[in-house]
Amino acid sequence: MELATTLPYAEDPRKAVEEIVRLEEAGLDTVWVAEAYGYDSPTTMGCLAARTDRVRIGSYIINVYSRTPALIAQTAAGLDAVSGGRALLGLGASGPQVVEGWHGLPYDRPLGRTRETVELCRRIWRREVIEHHGITDMPLPPERGGKFGKPLKFLNHPVREEIPVYLAALGPANVRMAAQIADGWLPHLFVPEKARRVWGPSLDEGLAARPAERGPLQIVAGALLAVGEDAAAARDLARPMIALYVGGMGAKGKNFYNDVARAYGYEEAAERIQDLYLAGRKREAEAAVPDEFAELVSLCGPESYVRERIEAFREAGVTQLNVRLVGPDPVRLAERVKGWL
């Protein structure tokens, strides 16, 4: 199992880059750069490429609506070039809250858009001539007669013809697609003890249709990690994140994270968290997060307990433990955790 971390949305990117430089020395394998409706991720990823030598750098996630597939492919190829072949492309449909509320775009056909974006990116990196006739194309005015300009192929020769593509997916159809076509899967709010019950059938169906040459599906999951006799209190830091996603990332009846919480068996809590959050009572929503939920998505406690949690994630199929290192010395903590993997 590899060790990864994700840069939070709201951190100062310059300080975050400095920390990743130190964590790389401690053995960090991958850094994922989050993007929602704050700073863009490619800017920080380019800075990371310039300041690091070994760690892989991934987007977490670039949504498939606000950039064209061609621009996504260009960005990933550019990052791969400046990093010397260390890029990972994390893609996802995001949700209506970000796509419609922030970007002002209709949230339509998320599965088709995601699949088409992956296919086009891979074709572009292979320098195939690209003609536009897909669902991600902007409609042309009638006077153009539905005809696009001259087909083109990528101007540069990419460092790699295949940049690993990881898909963020939660719903059954989306998870099935990720298991079939992606190099890796990025689930959120992952509870290893409950994951099989929620996603097992979809993963099995997708893997059954997966081309052999794609190789094993990588799974990236984790959350807060803190070690110490009093570290269990650190899991309370997970409550704001859980409340934000379960309560605030979407509307009633259209919140994928709320659906996951319900599938885990927290139906009543999920409804209460959402009601409170949407009413602007965020602190109460955080307090409504079940203790068990906060504990099971985290890895916080004495060393023996944390190592047990790591094994639970491993047994659930996780190949890359993606954690936020909590404590006075994240670098030393990363060194310890790396030794347990």
In CATH terms, 2-221+303-340 corresponds, of 3.40.50.1820, 3.40.50.1470, 3.20.20.30, 1.20.120.450, to 3.20.20.30
Rounded distance, CA 197 to CA 185, Å?
Answer: 17
Whether the pLDDT of residue 142 is over 80: the answer is no
Q: Is 152 exposed, middle or buried (0-12, 13-18, 19+ CB in 10 A)?
A: exposed
Residue 279: CB partners within 8 Å, gap ≥ 6?
Answer: none
Q: For the chain, which residues make up each domain, given as ranges?
A: 2-221+303-340, 229-301
pLDDT tens-place string over residues 61-120: 999 999 999 999 999 999 999 999 999 999 999 988 899 999 999 999 999 999 999 999
Q: What is the pLDDT of residues 17-49, one digit of tens each?
A: 999 999 999 999 999 999 999 999 999 999 999
Rounded Cα distance, 21 and 211, in Å = 36
pTM: 0.95
Tokens coding 102: 């922030």
Over residues 281-306, the pLDDT tens digits come to 999 999 999 999 999 999 999 999 99
